[in-house]
Structure 1
Amino acid sequence: MITQKELAKKLNISISTVSKALNNSPEIGKETIERVHALAKFYKYQPNQNAVNLKKRETKTIGVIVPNITNRFFAKVLFSIQEEASNLGYNIIICNSNESLQKEKDSLKVLSNGSVDGFIVAVSEETQLTKDYSHFEGLVNEEIPLIMFDRVLDKINCDKVIIDDADASKKAVNALIEKGREQIAFVSTIFDLNVGKLREHSYEEAIKFNFNNKKKPLILHITPEKDSQSQIRSFLENNPKIDGVISADNISGTQTLNVAISMGYKIPEAISIIGFADDAISKLSVPKLSILDQNATKMGEATVHLLMKRLKNKADEMPKSTQIIPTVLNNAGSL
């Protein structure tokens, strides 16, 4: 079935113009309206009823879909979204995809019946692995407001809020080098996600640049099939000269710190460790984990403000934007 986007492409006009012409808007000239209706009739165009419902109603409600509601980072972003939305007179409906593509699709389908005015989404792991983006493409084609945060898809043309992952990894490498570290490793449990890949790639580039390609990156991908602490222990035993570690996520940094201490390493004298995490995670070890704070609160606020801007400018051809939230390196004790 043909979409408004495809009609617009065939007629060489904007999607917004097609939408207005189909609704016989006085803003559009008679000739253009006739051309749009003629082509729509030829291709037997049928409007997406869910999208029509969503456009016609103002519910003062936002649909928020996250991949793991128990994850500390997503929980903090959710809290921030709820607080900011409430301040602006909006409610939110939260759905947990549990890293499932089908649950993500089901959540969008259920909420697209007119229950919400727009969506804020962090993409599930399965969606990224399968590269099935059809459910998001449908939203974009029907001009339903969509904001992606943290886990975003480059191929989906929507507004996005992210942290500067590349800069954060480089910042961590530079901080370790300033402490005199020469064998810097990278550990990750999110190596199959876009954010994990970006953080890892930036780490590799920073190592090559700072050491003039004389040192090889040392990388551990922690898999769920085996005990994570055992994997970290084996990695440290097989690379005894490691004196610095960067963790890509909010769990592996604390795990690495605790394993290193159990092996007799003094932290930070023997090994310095930095993790992408927050203050709460940092406090789970002694000494506290030094962190790259992802500013979950600011990210949540930014997604709401960006969605409000999009809702107020539905009729405009406002270009999609990507807002970058800076990270902050906090030396809590392990650097």
Structure 2
Amino acid sequence: MKSKITLKELSKLLNVSISTVSKALHDSPEISPKTAERVKELAKLHNYRPNPVAVNLKKSKTGTIGVVIPNISNSFFARVLSGMEAEAQKHEQQVITYISNESLDREKQICDMLTSGMVDGVLIAVSEETQKKQEYDHLFALLDYDIPVVIYDRINLGLPADKIGVDDEKSFYDATKFFKEKGLEKIGLASAIHHVGIGQLRIKGYEKGMQDLDSLYMATSTKPAELKRKIKELITSEKVEALLCTDFESSIMATRIAYEENIKVPEELKLIGYISKEVAEYLTPSISYIEQHPQELGSQAVEVLNNRLEGKYESGQFEEKIIATTMVHLESTGF
């Protein structure tokens, strides 16, 4: 009698990763036909089946979707959730919200709960720790249980799932180009999220925009004290004319350092940050920012999930939507 086998055991027998096995079983175009055939043959030989409890539960819809938020203190995600809730109501769906607190272990716990069949699908922004360690087996487990997954915001991950995000790279390319067109050359970048996907995309956009200039001026660190020191050097020693900030922390830090060093914004330093409208407008001076349209992001994430649930996408083919950002000029750009 053929014995049942788990996804992890299949990967060991084939000497490939769990993600490769899962992608092959889900007909991902990322996997070569030869590898996919090997995986499927071995899975058939060992009578591989997804968790039967979850499969049985998935035969009828629950009317509920699970949303995993990485950071509740970030107002961006609160606005994303608002968009999700509004769109879910249109589909008569309930939203269960989980918070990973940027923790890989917590994210694993949440995904383990979600494999019980309690939701029709999952919307997830992957935690910083998960991206840093590149451990995605718990996400492949959701796919293994035939639970549709939509990855939102933090989308530059090699996962066979539908994705929706904003044009992070283009936003900083356009911001860099904007300053160059105004005659500035010493344009800097500050980042506390250079180690995760969205930070890397924004940095890539800046670097592309600076290709025809001799120098890059970058301050990056996950340690607040070190980041503060590096930003201070850019502003005081390097005397950059403009600074692009990839995240809330670096935006606020740059504003504070300019104030402490008596550097006038925007006369001596111009700033653009990834910062929420609610904060940007009430700083002195107000900070120009990249508007990511989070409500629209949340709404479209739910729409994509429902398209998947309704069979509007082909198996093995994944939707990727990119929402255009908007550069909003307030006092800190001064043009």
Q: State the TM-score, normalized to the length of structure 2.
A: 0.83
Contact 2:189 2:245 in 1 (8 A): yes
Aligned residue in 1 for 2:32: none
Q: Which deviates more from structure 2 when the two are superposed, residues 178-187 or residues 41-50?
A: 41-50
Q: Contact 1:254–1:281 (CA<8 Å) still a contact in 2?
A: no
Paired letter, 1:73 = F
The one-letter code matched in structure 2 to 1:67 is P
1:177 and 2:180 correspond? yes
Q: Secondary structure at the match of 2:211?
A: helix
Distance apart, 1:184 and its partner CA: 0.3
Change (3 A) 1:183 1:311: same
Query: 1:308 aligned to 303, 306, 313, which one?
Result: 306
Q: In structure 2, what is the equivalent of residue 233 of structure 1?
A: 232
In 2: Cα distance, 1:40 partner to 1:186 partner: 49
Is it true that 1:168 corresponds to 2:171 in the alignment?
yes
Shift of 1:98: 0.8
1:42 to 38, 42, 45: 45
Instruction: Return the TM-score normalized by structure 1.
Output: 0.83
Aligned positions of 1:1-335 closer than 5 A: 1=5, 15=26, 42-209=45-212, 211=213, 215-224=214-223, 226=225, 229-240=228-239, 242-313=240-311, 316-317=314-315, 319-335=317-333
Long gaps (5+) in structure 2: 12-19, 28-39
Q: Contact (CA 8 Å) 2:55, 2:146: kept in 1 or not?
A: no
Q: 2:69–2:124: 8 Å Cα contact kept in structure 1?
A: yes
Contact (CA 8 Å) 1:54, 1:112: kept in 2 or not?
Answer: no
Q: Deviations over 1:15-37 (max 9, x none)?
A: 59xxxxxxxxxxxxxxxxxxxx9
**Rg larger in structure:** 1
Q: Provide the C-alpha distance between the structure 2 equivalents of 1:153 and 1:176, rounded to a whole number of angstroms.
A: 27
Contact 2:220/2:227, CA 8 A, preserved across alignment? no
1:315 CA displacement: 8.9
CA contact (8 A) 2:307 2:313 kept: no
**Residues 138, 178 of structure 1: CA spacing in aligned structure 2 closer, same or farther, 3 A cutoff?**
same
Task: Name the Cα RMSD after superposition.
Answer: 2.7
Q: Does the CA contact (< 8 Å) of 2:189 and 2:219 recur in 1?
A: yes
Aligned length: 306
Specify whether residues 110 and 90 from structure 1 end up closer, same or farther in structure 2 by C-alpha distance, changes over 3 A only: same
State the shift of 1:14 in Å: 7.6
Alpha carbons 2:26, 2:316 under 8 Å: kept: no
Q: Tell me how far apart the structure 1 counterparts of residues 43 and 54 of structure 2 sit (CA, whole Å).
A: 17
Looking at structure 2, the residues matched to 318 and 41 of structure 1 have their Cα atoms a distance apart, in angstroms, of 19
Distance (whole Å) between structure 2 residues aligned to residue 67 and residue 50 of structure 1: 28
Residues of 1 paired with 2:85 and 2:322: CA distance? 20
For 1:217, the aligned partner's letter is L
Closer/same/farther in 2, CA of residues 43 and 282 from structure 1, 3 Å limit: same
Q: Give me the identity figure in percent.
A: 31
